[in-house]
Chain A
Amino acid sequence: MYTITEEILTTPSGDMVINVGPQHPATHGVLHLLITLNGETIKKVEPHLGYIHRSIEKMCESLSYRQFIYSTSRMDYLSAHINNHGCALAVEKGLQVEIPPRAEVIRVLMDELTRVASHILAWGALAMDLGAFTPFFHAFREREMINDIMEETCGARLTMNYMVPGGVMMDIHPNFQRRVKELLKQFSEKIDEYDELVTYNTIFINRTKNVGYLSKEDAISFGVSGPSARASGVSCDIRKIYPYSIYDKLKFDEILYTEGDSYARYMVRVQEVKQSLSIIEQLIDNIPEGDFQAKTKAVLKLPKGEFYSRVETARGELGVYIVSEGGMTPYRIKFRSPGYSNLSALDHMTRGSKIGDLIASMGTLDLVIPDIDR
C-alpha cells in the first residue's frame, strides 16, 4: 500500500533519503547529514550545518585583543589550548613582543597535553561508534588525569583561556611537573591496553580497513589537514613545515601513512599520542626559569595591517587571520578551522559504500561540530 510517508521518504528513482542527526550519538554533536540511499549503498551525503553557529568571528570584532582569545576555546573545545595559542601568536606578531623562554615551554607542554587528551578521546569515541563500549572509559581514565593537571594549573578543565598575548596567564602550579610525570608513567604502563583492546581487534580491523578511502590528491584538493590528511600521505604537519614557538628545536617525527583508509587515520592518531608524549618527556625537566609573561601595555593596540598565524591543532591546521585598523579591537577576524575542510571530504569518501561504513569514516575524521560551525 502506498502511504504518504513513503512518498516523502522515497524519490522517484527509488532512492531513500534519511536524516542522520542533528541529535545522533555518532555525529558527536549537532551535525545533520542528509543521506540518499539506494538500499544500503550511499549515493550522496549532504551535511547541513549551522545548528551551533554562534558567530564567534563577528563577536570577536567587538572584543579587545585580550578578550577575544577566550571565545576561541569554544570553537574546537578539545584543543582549546592550541586555539588560544594560535590567536596569541597572531596578536604577538602585531605587537612585536619577545616571549620569555619559560612561557614558550609551558605553552608547548600544554599544547601537547591537549593533543594527547584529544587523540585518546577520539580513540575512545571511534571505538564506541563501532560498538565497543569499554575503550571509551579507558580513554576517559587517562584524559581525566590530563584534565586534573589543567584544572590545577589553568583553573578550568575544558575552556582554559590560559594563553594571553605575551605569554601565559599564570605560572605553572608547583605540582605540575610531578603530576605530568605520573601521567607519563601511567601512559607507559597502559598504552599496551589501547592496542590490545582496539588496534589488533579483528572486528575493528574489518570495520575500518579499506573503508572510507581518501587518496592523496583528493585530500589536497579538499583541503583536508591534520591526522586525516597524514593518513593519506600528505605531509602537512605545521609543527614541521612552518615551525612556530619552539617546535623547531624539538625532536619528534611526523607520522605518515599512505593507505588513506579509516584504519590508517586511526593509526596516525595512536602514533601521534606517542610522539606528543615524547615531546612532553623532553620538556618536562627542562622548563627554564624566568618570567612566564612578557610585559605588555594595559591596552593592546595592533598597528594597521594584516596578521596571520597557523598552528597544528589535534584536528589539523588552524589559521587565525586578523585585520587591524590600528584600534583597540580587530576590524575583521577569520578562522580557518580544520573541521570544516575535513567534513567536506566526507561525501567523496563515503559515496558508494555501505551506511555502516559512514560511521567509521566519520569517526576517524574526528569531527568537532562547534569547530565546523563557529
Chain B
Amino acid sequence: MFLKEYISDVYGAVKSMAIGMKRTLYYFTHHQEIITQQYPDNRDTLVLPERFRGEVVMAHDEKNEHRCTGCTACELACPNGTIKIITKFDISPEGKKKKAIDKFIYHLELCTMCNLCIEACPTNAIHMAQTFEHSVFDRAQLTKVLNKPGSKLQEGVE
C-alpha cells in the first residue's frame, strides 16, 4: 500500500514537471511569440500613444505665437508647485497696458505628470509631450522656460 502511494506520488510529480517543461519548451522553439522590445535599439520605430504624459510643453505656431494668457490656473492646479508664471505688462500701439506672460517656468524635476494643469488650462495653451528620456547631467537643466523668446500671445485668445 505504501509502495503504491509512493510510486503514484513520484509519477504525479514527474508528470506535473513535464507539463510545465513542455510549456517552456514551446516558447523556446516559438520565437514569434516573444514580445520583448529591444529598447533603445527600437527608438526610431517606438510610437507612444498621443495621451502619454511625458512632460508639459507649450505649443507655438509658425508666427512664434502661443495661447497662454497668464491666468495662472495651471499654477494653482498643480499639487507640487511645478509651474511658476511671471507676468509683465505689454504696451499696445494704442498705448494700452496689457497683461502678458514674461516667463512660463516649468520645473520638470518636481512634476509628477498628473495632468491637472492641462485640465485646468482654459485656452489649451499647454499640452503633454510624449518625450520620456529626461535624464541630464545637471539638475538645473530640468528647469525649463516653456515660452520661446520673443513669442507673443495669439490674436483672439482671451
B89: interface (CB < 8 Å): no
Judge whether A71 and B79 touch: CB under 8 Å: yes
A286: interface (CB < 8 Å): no
Residues of B with C-beta under 8 A to A196: 19-20, 22-23
Cα-based distance from A134 to B112 in the complex (angstroms)? 33
A152-B49 contact, Cβ under 8 Å, with A66-B116, A70-B114: yes
Judge whether B116 and A70 touch: CB under 8 Å: yes
In chain B, positions 36-79 with a C-beta closer than 8 Å to chain A are 48-49, 51-53, 77-79
A156-B16 contact, Cβ under 8 Å, with A68-B79, A70-B112, A141-B35: no
Cα-based distance from A90 to B48 in the complex (angstroms)? 34
- Contact partner of A156 (CB less than 8 A), chosen from B17, B23, B53, is B53
Judge whether A67 and B116 touch: CB under 8 Å: yes
Residues of A with C-beta under 8 A to B115: 155, 161, 169
In chain B, positions 10-37 with a C-beta closer than 8 Å to chain A are 12-13, 16-17, 19-20, 22-24, 35
Size bracket, chain B contacts: 20 to 34
B105: interface (CB < 8 Å): no
Which of chain B's residues has its CB closest to A299's CB?
B76
A151-B116 contact, Cβ under 8 Å, with A67-B77, A68-B79, A200-B19: no
- Contact partner of A173 (CB less than 8 A), chosen from B16, B24, B51, B112, is B51
Judge whether A155 and B53 touch: CB under 8 Å: yes
- Contact partner of B24 (CB less than 8 A), chosen from A67, A134, A170, is A134
A118: interface (CB < 8 Å): no
B145: interface (CB < 8 Å): no
- Contact partner of B20 (CB less than 8 A), chosen from A70, A152, A197, is A197
> How many A-B Cβ pairs are below 8 Å?
66
Residues of B with C-beta under 8 A to A200: 16, 19
B119: interface (CB < 8 Å): yes
Judge whether B77 and A66 touch: CB under 8 Å: yes
Judge whether A202 and B13 touch: CB under 8 Å: yes
A155-B116 contact, Cβ under 8 Å, with A63-B79, A193-B23, A201-B16: no
In chain A, positions 186-227 with a C-beta closer than 8 Å to chain B are 193, 196-198, 200-203
In chain A, positions 165-198 with a C-beta closer than 8 Å to chain B are 169-170, 173, 193, 196-198
Which of chain B's residues has its CB closest to A162's CB?
B115
Judge whether A161 and B23 touch: CB under 8 Å: no
CB distance from A83 to the nearest CB of B (A): 14
- Measuring CB to CB, which residues of chain B are less than 8 angstroms from any residue of chain A? 12-13, 16-17, 19-20, 22-24, 35, 48-49, 51-53, 77-79, 112-116, 119, 128
A-B contact pairs, 10 of them (CB 8 A): A63-B79, A67-B77, A70-B112, A152-B51, A155-B113, A159-B114, A161-B114, A161-B116, A196-B20, A200-B19
